[in-house]
Amino acid sequence: MTELKACDSCALNNTAQLQKLGINVDNTDFVVALAGNPNTGKSTVFNALTGLKQHTGNWPGKTVTRAEGGYSYENKKIKLIDLPGTYSLLSTSQDEEIARNFILFGKPDVTIIVVDAARIERNLNLVLQILEITDRAVLCLNLMDESKRHGIDIDDRTLSKELGIPVVKCSAIKKEGIPELLKTIHQVATREIICQPHRISGLSTSAQKMVEELEARVKQHYPALPNSRWIAMRLLDGDQHIIDALKNGEFETAISL
Amino acid sequence: MKIDKTQELLNLASELRWQVGEGFHDTLIEGIYADAADIAQKVEIKQGSVPKFSFERQLDQILTSKRFGFPIMILVLSIILWLTIQGANYPSGLLSTLFLEIIYPFLKSLSSQVGLPWWMDGFLLDGVYLALGWVISVMLPPMAIFFPLFTLLEDFGYLPRVAFNLDSAFKRSGAHGKQALTMSMGWGCNAAGVIATRIIDSPRERLIAIITNNFSLCNGRWPTQILIATIFIGALVPDHFSTLLSTLAVILVALLGVGFTFLSSWMLSRTVLKGEVSTFALELPPYRPPRIWSTLYTSLIDRTLIVLWRAMVFAAPAGAVIWLISNIPIGDQSMANQTIDWMDGFGLFFGLNGVILLAYMVAIPANEIVIPTILMLTVAHLDLLGVGVGDGVMFELDSAAQTGEILRAGGWTLLTGINLMLFSLLHNPCSTTIFTIYQETKSWKWTTIASVMPIVFGFIVTFIVAQLWGLFA
């Protein structure tokens, strides 16, 4: 069992998964995913980080496929994947599935979650769902300039404490906060910062109990899986995609059993 | 053993699911919302009494109002088209002078100096090169104006408002409200519009959106519409009104496309794609002042050049094919002439002609090359000496007026012009779009329906127009 665990953290294993998802990871040290609601300036952050000029449109659904780019930071080569903007990871539309499968099976080293600072409450719904799947994330509080214009500021320290992940204030259009973002991504990727992500707590006691019971069983079967609680919740919800993924062994390849 | 473990896990899951009941999904969502609200309340610092989004609310009330929503949409589209039609003329002339009056004779003389055989000279210069030159001078100016303007509108945040306005109409025709977005995307490129349907979660509604996307005039067809409207419809009125009237004609065709989108969505959802209309939440994103320069840059790189490149990639071999079919004889006539004569009667029945039908066959790879193909075939067919350069040569004409003269010499009337505009709206998608539809649906059945349905509409509509024309004119 210990051997298997070692394999999970080995770079080669993840590489195989990423290649299966169609990503070339030659000469790449870290894979970073970019997630977030539509219209939060995700593509602008992508462009600011990579120096590419992917077109950014102001309407939901601009990026329905994945865009890829790369940059290097402190001698590390980083591959950046821009995921489709989604409001949740719980429905079955194809864009949400692309985003979800990537975070779940692609296991990026870091997931940057871009949120619109002026619409923090609505955006947090997705943030909380992503934090159930991955424990290595950075919150990018984008559109700070616009938000301040509307008289809204965000207490980033408290937010960071509540979510258990680093929070960086940005205004990607003006390239503000990008150096800090680059540094934080690096720190999470190299495990200099260890995240302790928030877990959804608003469930009723009885539901909470069942989630725990099922989670224990998932953990027992797949000890290397970092998101057993989320799998348990999806199973309780009767998510056919997760059931199928379990049946045809996608999780096993994902954790290399 | 592995399988057993998984099965055991799934059994436990379904047992627990039985206990937890149907409500778990809602409990989970409520839990997430509760947590989000709790955290947001802790971290949000509201400063002073700045009225929150008041200007945006007012703007939204106007742009999405029942009374003004549609007129504003049509007005905005009109302004963009008017600027495109008005602005594209001059650079178009300049480019054609460069490519066809300066470079072309130079290459010709070069080839005769080198001593290229006549067929190679014809194939390369009169076929491939001229096709490319034509496509660039005709396509580039309108695209370089239309795309940035459309992109500015996109960046400003207007498209979701369009979707909002059209939502109820889509619902009534049994389709998904988000189809308004994929439809607008189709106004740029149908293949892109088909890919964009991934934002629709219900497979039934997504299929409707895919099949009907072709009714959005794409960038390959805007120039055709604009040119033919200028020649045949703008010419009906004095000069200073002609741009206005041509703009109106193009808008009418575009709106007719929207009408056909609704009609065919309605037909599909009542017959082969029956089902419930799903509800969804559409977020109206904040208005953002577009960044003019970066928009110009990205729309030039991302759209204009990519679309132009695609047009060129398809125009080059098409130019070669046209040259070949115009120069390879069958019996005493060229292949092209044989086919044109053979299809002419059938074409006239629909207010079209043999040239147009053959041009649409040659131009399946890209709508962009329909007009050049039509002109070249017309000239070759008529043997119009003194215009153009010879059999199977795509040529350039300095102004719309001259293009009009050629077409009229080819027997075109106002009816032919109108029906070509209609047929350009209602015909099969280009091969790239057909391929994309197959990629997205993985079904030959739906790909065939999506390809054939528009052309059936096309023949029905042009037939009706031609018959009515015959009655009244």
Please state the rounded mean pLDDT for residues B65-78: 87
Looking at residue B416, its pLDDT comes to 93
Q: C-alpha distances in angstroms, A254 versus A16, A102, A105?
A: 9, 11, 6
Asked whether residue B437 carries a pLDDT value surpassing 70, the answer given is yes
Q: Find all residues with CB under 8 Å of B185, minimum gap 6, and list them.
A: B192, B193, B196, B216
Confidence bin at B307 (pLDDT 50/70/90): low
CB contact under 8 A, B48 and A122: no
Question: Nearest-CA residue of chain B relative to A84?
Answer: B199
Q: How far, in Å, CA of B133 to CA of B315, rounded? A: 9
Question: Nearest-CA residue of chain A relative to B297?
Answer: A53
Asked whether residue B199 carries a pLDDT value surpassing 60, the answer given is yes
Q: How far, in Å, CA of A58 to CA of B291, rounded? A: 12
Q: How far, in Å, CA of A50 to CA of A54, rounded? A: 10
Per the DSSP assignment, residues forming a β-bridge with A69 are: A80
Tokens of A152: 């809204």
ipTM of the complex: 0.81
Confidence bin at B421 (pLDDT 50/70/90): very high
Nearest CA-CA partner of B213 in B164, B168, B268, B158:
B268
- pLDDT top residue among B243 and B229: B229
Strand (E) or helix (H) holding B331: none
Give Cα A135 distance to the centre of its chain: 8
Mean pLDDT of chain B: 82
Residues of B in contact with A91 (CB under 8 A): 201
Residues of B in contact with A201 (CB under 8 A): 31, 35
Question: Nearest-CA residue of chain A relative to B52?
Answer: A150
Contact status of B301 with chain A (Cβ, < 8 Å):
yes
Residue that the structure tokens 């400003």 belong to: B156
Residues of B in contact with A238 (CB under 8 A): 17
Question: Nearest-CA residue of chain A relative to B45?
Answer: A153
Tokens of B433: 């779009």
Q: How far, in Å, CA of B207 to CA of B203, rounded? A: 6
Contact status of A213 with chain B (Cβ, < 8 Å):
yes
Asked whether residue B227 carries a pLDDT value surpassing 60, the answer given is yes
Please state the rounded mean pLDDT for residues A44-72: 68
Asked whether residue B452 carries a pLDDT value surpassing 80, the answer given is yes
Query: What would the pLDDT profile of B11-21 be if each residue is shown by its tens digit?
Result: 888 888 777 77
Q: Find all residues with CB under 8 Å of A184, minimum gap 6, and list them.
A: A138, A166, A168, A193
Choose the most confident range, by mean pLDDT, from A48-57, A65-74, B382-391, B420-429.
Answer: B420-429
Looking at residue B3, its pLDDT comes to 60
Query: What would the pLDDT profile of B26-71 be if each residue is shown by its tens digit?
Result: 788 888 888 888 898 888 887 765 555 577 788 888 888 888 888 9
Please state the rounded mean pLDDT for residues A71-78: 87
HEC-encoded secondary structure of A78-119: EEEEECCCCCCCCCCCHHHHHHHHHHHHHCCCEEEEEEEHHH
Confidence bin at A139 (pLDDT 50/70/90): very high
Residues of A in contact with B43 (CB under 8 A): 120, 154-156, 158-159, 162
Please state the rounded mean pLDDT for residues A172-193: 90
Q: How far, in Å, CA of A61 to CA of A38, rounded? A: 7
Looking at residue B443, its pLDDT comes to 92
Confidence bin at B446 (pLDDT 50/70/90): very high
Query: What would the pLDDT profile of B157-187 be if each residue is shown by its tens digit?
Result: 887 788 888 888 888 888 888 888 788 878 8
Q: How far, in Å, CA of A104 to CA of A45, rounded? A: 22
Poorest-pLDDT segment among A242-246, B139-143, B325-329, B347-351: B139-143
Residues 389-448 of B with CB under 8 A from A: none
Residues 186-205 of B with CB under 8 A from A: 195-196, 198-201
Choose the most confident range, by mean pLDDT, from A202-206, B2-6, B304-308.
Answer: A202-206
Poorest-pLDDT segment among A36-45, A78-87, B152-161, B294-303: B294-303
Q: Strands A30-36, A76-82: parallel, antiparallel or unpaired by DSSP? A: parallel
Q: How far, in Å, CA of A210 to CA of B19, rounded? A: 9
Q: Strands A76-82, A167-169: parallel, antiparallel or unpaired by DSSP? A: unpaired
Mean pLDDT of chain A: 79
Asked whether residue A53 carries a pLDDT value surpassing 80, the answer given is no
Closest CB to A207 among B24, B35, B53:
B24
Tokens of B398: 């300095």
CB contact under 8 A, A59 and B160: yes
Residues 54-93 of A with CB under 8 A from B: 54-61, 64-65, 84, 87, 90-93
Looking at residue B386, its pLDDT comes to 45
Distance between B165 CA and the closest CA of chain A, angstroms: 15
Helix (DSSP H) and strand (DSSP E) numbers for chain A: 12, 7
Residues 95-134 of A with CB under 8 A from B: 95-96, 118, 120-122, 124-125, 127-129
Please state the rounded mean pLDDT for residues A166-172: 92
Confidence bin at A32 (pLDDT 50/70/90): very high
Please state the rounded mean pLDDT for residues A82-89: 83
Asked whether residue A4 carries a pLDDT value surpassing 50, the answer given is no
Distance between A154 CA and the closest CA of chain B, angstroms: 5
Asked if B265 contacts B171 with a C-beta cutoff of 8 angstroms, the reply is no
CB contact under 8 A, B286 and A39: yes
CB contact under 8 A, B43 and A213: no
What's chain B's Rg over C-alpha atoms?
26
Alpha helices (H) along A104-177: 120-133, 144-149, 156-163
Contact status of A48 with chain B (Cβ, < 8 Å):
no
- Hey, of A4, A40, A58, A165, which one would you mutate to test binding to chain B, going by the most B CBs within 10 A of its CB? A58
Tokens of B169: 């109409």
Q: Strands A152-154, A76-82: parallel, antiparallel or unpaired by DSSP? A: unpaired
Asked whether residue B82 carries a pLDDT value surpassing 60, the answer given is yes
Asked whether residue B302 carries a pLDDT value surpassing 80, the answer given is no
Entry pTM: 0.66
| Domain boundaries, given as residue ranges, for chain A | 5-189, 205-256
- pLDDT top residue among B207 and B282: B207
Quick one: residue A51, left, alpha or beta (phi over 0 = left, psi -120 to 50 = alpha)? Answer: left
Q: What is the DSSP letter of B390?
A: S
Q: C-alpha distances in angstroms, B299 versus B11, B193, B196?
A: 53, 17, 18
CB contact under 8 A, B35 and A198: yes
Poorest-pLDDT segment among A16-25, B194-203, B368-377: A16-25
> Which amino acid is it at B353?
N
CB contact under 8 A, A60 and B181: yes
Distance between B447 CA and the closest CA of chain A, angstroms: 19
Distance between B250 CA and the closest CA of chain A, angstroms: 26
Asked whether residue A244 carries a pLDDT value surpassing 70, the answer given is yes
Domain boundaries A5-189, corresponding CATH code: 3.40.50.300
Choose the most confident range, by mean pLDDT, from A51-60, A169-178, B154-163.
Answer: A169-178
Please state the rounded mean pLDDT for residues A158-162: 92
Looking at residue A21, its pLDDT comes to 56
Q: What percent of chain A has pLDDT over 90?
A: 21
Residues of A in contact with B155 (CB under 8 A): 56-58
Question: Nearest-CA residue of chain A relative to B55?
Answer: A150
What is the count of residue pairs from A and B with beta carbons less than 8 Å apart? 197
Looking at residue B162, its pLDDT comes to 84
Please state the rounded mean pLDDT for residues B319-330: 83
Asked whether residue B444 carries a pLDDT value surpassing 80, the answer given is yes
Please state the rounded mean pLDDT for residues A101-125: 88
Distance between A185 CA and the closest CA of chain B, angstroms: 22
Contact status of B33 with chain A (Cβ, < 8 Å):
yes
Q: What percent of chain A has pLDDT over 70?
A: 79
Question: Nearest-CA residue of chain B relative to A245?
Answer: B6
Quick one: residue A140, left, alpha or beta (phi over 0 = left, psi -120 to 50 = alpha)? Answer: beta
Q: What percent of chain B has pLDDT over 90?
A: 19
Query: What would the pLDDT profile of B348-367 be if each residue is shown by its tens digit?
Result: 889 999 999 999 988 887 78
